[in-house]
A and B are shown apart, each in its own frame.
Chain A
Amino acid sequence: KNQVEQSPQSLIILEGKNCTLQCNYTVSPFSNLRWYKQDTGRGPVSLTIMTFSENTKSNGRYTATLDADTKQSSLHITASQLSDSASYICVVSAPRGGYNKLIFGAGTRLAVHP
């Protein structure tokens, strides 16, 4: 069973609309939770990093929330643009021996249509 589950697997929205992506995790203990954006044919790029004590973090039109009690996070995209079409990956960082292991979700593939 994956320790980081994302939903939905894929999503289509119209340009200008908002959307929310979900992430549930079972990793414990964890150091922080990250959201990455991965454009087709590119490597992931970090959007936000939140520690367990942070409830929300914004990066422009992207707002991430974290509920460490229920082990849930969400990424809200406001006023979507065509350039938001990408995969969004939820990643939990967990201390493991000598380094912090990144545990990746499978991602949500977002398509923004004109």
Chain B
Amino acid sequence: DAGITQSPRYKITETGRQVTLMCHQTWSHSYMFWYRQDLGHGLRLIYYSAAADITDKGEVPDGYVVSRSKTENFPLTLESATRSQTSVYFCASSESSSSSYEQYFGPGTRLTVT
């Protein structure tokens, strides 16, 4: 049971480049989330998706684009990377938006923008 996976695990890119981070889950969870984690800060929500073709902004969506054509995949694209987007990115999934349901996190992608 693979669970939730992210790729790549590490990425170095240059300012202005487009980069896509991949997230795949095998549980058929309806909800998927993208967070970023920066030193000294808690995880912050970038975008989330309630189902295929349904996405919505989180706390810090500027500079990011998401899509969800299939339930199991939720890619995050940085259209023109900036140094401030250097961070660790976590994807998560959940069966439901109900508060009693767990969010399960992937292993993270460490992105460095030079």
Contact = CB atoms under 8 A, between A and B. Distances in A.
Interface in B17-47: 31, 40-45
B41 A106 contact: yes
A102 B100 CA distance: 12
In this complex, the member of A31, A46, A104 whose beta carbon has the largest number of chain B beta carbons within 10 angstroms is A104
A98 B30 CA distance: 14
B103 interface: yes
Chain A's interface: helix, strand, loop or mixed, by majority? strand
- Chain B contact residues (Cβ within 8 angstroms of A): what range? 20 to 34
Question: What is the size category of the interface that chain A forms with chain B?
Answer: 20 to 34
B84 interface: no
Contacts of B42: 2, 4, 89, 91, 103-107
A101 B48 CA distance: 10
B105 A41 contact: no
A103 B99 CA distance: 12
A95 interface: yes
A65 to B, nearest CB: 19
18 contacts: A31-B99, A41-B107, A41-B108, A43-B90, A43-B107, A43-B108, A46-B102, A89-B43, A91-B42, A95-B99, A98-B97, A99-B31, A99-B97, A102-B103, A104-B43, A104-B44, A105-B42, A106-B42
